[in-house]
């Protein structure tokens, strides 16, 4: 049975993830590819379509940013404000085709044009809903995004007709499980992860298993949409382990979550080519777990002391003067 607070929302959602390869540095042609995928997703009956991290421009290390210790002219030129030309174009498509779209892009701060964020725009049929800015940024030696972008400072949930959803970007999702827990406790039943996960040894298993675990431990559905291919070639030999990772991405976008009485099930998985993978997910089946393991309710009642303990411990770790 669906809890009262969720009964106004649609009980079934079809989620799609795009295994996507942008045309690096060419926003016009890449936006045309994004449009083609939105149209195809809508034709397939997808309700929420997720593109990867950095979909609009491509995501890769930058020697110029490394030399300048900040965003180079190319990154500054490619970034856009939100709202801006790309989000307005996608919003028109979302309205025309009654679909929600989440896609990664470099965002320029409206007040400070040299400040950039690694962002994901969240767009619905009603228009721009909001923006998520990546909180945990990668650092040298493998990536230069920590030089290019400022970290985000909010962890919102976004309203949709399927209920509140959460968004994280790549490293936020893979290595920082406390963020997914917070989103779940704030009411998200679906967490979307636009990511740019490199190809490499064991990476397919890592993507599928971690997406499954994030969903299982929070009793939510989770979807990771990954870049695929790219202009680089991965080298994990001993002589290359301290070098910036080239732009060569795994693909294998994945949708996972509970399937009562199973705690975890992989509903869909992509391969190593461009494609859309999708799954139709039942919130009634998800909430079947509420009758035996009402995690959100427990955290506010019988496990309240544990919730406070965790918050206090994290608070002490975050305050170096304590």
Q: What is the pLDDT of residues 160-202, one digit of tens each?
A: 999 999 999 999 999 999 999 999 999 999 999 999 999 999 9
Residue 322: predicted pLDDT: 61
For 124, the token pair is: 């619905």
Q: Among the options 17, 80, 134, 269, which is catalytic?
A: 134
Nearest residue to 145 (alpha-carbon basis) of 116, 114, 103, 110:
116
pLDDT of residue 234: 67
pLDDT tens digit at each of 322 positions of the chain: 899 999 999 999 999 999 999 998 899 999 999 999 999 999 999 999 999 999 999 988 888 888 889 999 999 999 999 999 999 999 999 999 999 999 999 999 999 999 999 999 999 999 999 999 999 999 888 889 999 999 999 999 999 999 999 999 999 999 999 999 999 999 999 999 999 999 999 999 999 999 999 999 999 999 999 999 987 776 767 667 777 777 789 999 999 999 999 999 999 999 999 999 999 999 999 999 988 989 889 999 999 999 999 999 999 998 877 6
- Asked if 27 is an active-site residue, the reply is no
Is the four-CA dihedral 215, 216, 221, 224 of positive or negative sign? positive
- Does residue 313 carry a catalytic annotation? no
| 276, 16 contact by CB (below 8 A) | yes
Catalytic residue among 17, 27, 33, 53: 53
| d(C-alpha 205, C-alpha 199), whole Å | 11
**Is the Cα torsion angle 175, 178, 183, 185 positive or negative in sign?**
positive
DSSP H helices, the chain, are 27-43, 63-68, 73-78, 85-97, 145-148, 171-175, 177-185, 203-218, 283-287, 295-300, 304-318
Q: What is the per-residue pLDDT across 235-264, written as a single tens digit (0 to 9) for each?
A: 767 667 777 777 789 999 999 999 999 999
Counted residue by residue, the chain has a size of 322
Q: Are 50 and 192 within 8 A, CB to CB?
A: yes
pTM score over 0.85: yes
**Closest by Cα among 93, 59, 94 to 78:** 59
Nearest to 68 by CA among 102, 109, 116: 116
Give per-residue burial for 153-186: e unless 16+ CB within 10 Å, then b: eebbbbbbebbbbbbbbbbbbbeeeebbbebbee
Q: Which residue matches tokens 């080239």? A: 246
User: In the structure, how many helices (H) and strands (E) does the chain have?
Assistant: 11, 14
170 catalytic residue (yes or no): yes
Q: Catalytic residue among 17, 170, 234, 269, which?
A: 170
Tokens representing 255? 């949708």
Place of tokens 């499954």: 212
Quick one: which of 175, 186, 213, 49 has its CA closest to 124?
49
- Report which secondary-structure segment, H or E, holds 264: strand 262-269
Max Cα distance, the chain (Å): 57
In the chain the first and final C-alpha atoms are separated, in Å, by: 45
Can you name the residues that pair with 23 across neighbouring β-strands?
A: none
């Amino acid at each position: 049975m669906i809890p009262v607070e969720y009964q106004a929302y649609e009980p079934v959602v079809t989620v799609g993830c795009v295994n996507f390869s942008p045309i690096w540095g060419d926003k016009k042609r890449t936006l045309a590819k994004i449009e083609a995928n939105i149209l195809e997703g809508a034709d397939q009956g997808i309700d929420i379509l997720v593109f990867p991290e950095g979909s609009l421009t491509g995501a890769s290390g930058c020697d110029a940013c490394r030399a300048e210790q900040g965003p180079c002219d190319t990154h500054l030129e490619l970034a856009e404000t939100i709202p801006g030309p790309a989000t307005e174009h996608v919003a028109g498509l979302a309205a025309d085709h009654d679909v929600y779209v989440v896609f990664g892009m470099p965002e320029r701060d409206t007040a400070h044009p040299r400040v950039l964020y690694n962002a994901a725009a969240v767009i619905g049929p009603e228009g721009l809903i909001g923006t998520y800015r990546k909180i945990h940024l990668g650092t040298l030696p493998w990536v230069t995004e920590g030089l290019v972008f400022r970290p985000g400072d909010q962890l919102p949930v976004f309203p949709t007709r399927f209920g509140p959803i959460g968004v994280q970007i790549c490293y936020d999702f893979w290595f920082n499980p406390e963020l997914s827990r917070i989103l779940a406790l704030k009411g998200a039943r679906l967490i979307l992860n636009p990511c740019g996960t490199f190809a490499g040894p064991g990476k397919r298993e890592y993507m599928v298993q971690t997406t499954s675990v994030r969903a299982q431990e929070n009793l939510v559905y989770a979807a990771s949409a990954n870049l695929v291919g790219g202009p680089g070639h991965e080298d994990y030999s001993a002589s290359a382990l301290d070098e910036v990772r080239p732009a060569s991405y795994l693909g294998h976008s994945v949708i996972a979550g509970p399937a009562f009485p199973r705690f975890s099930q992989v509903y869909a998985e992509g391969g190593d080519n461009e494609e859309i993978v999708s799954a139709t997910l039942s919130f009634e089946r998800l909430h079947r777990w509420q009758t035996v393991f009402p995690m959100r309710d427990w955290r506010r009642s019988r496990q309240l002391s544990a919730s406070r303990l965790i918050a206090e411990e994290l608070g002490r770790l975050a305050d170096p003067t304590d």
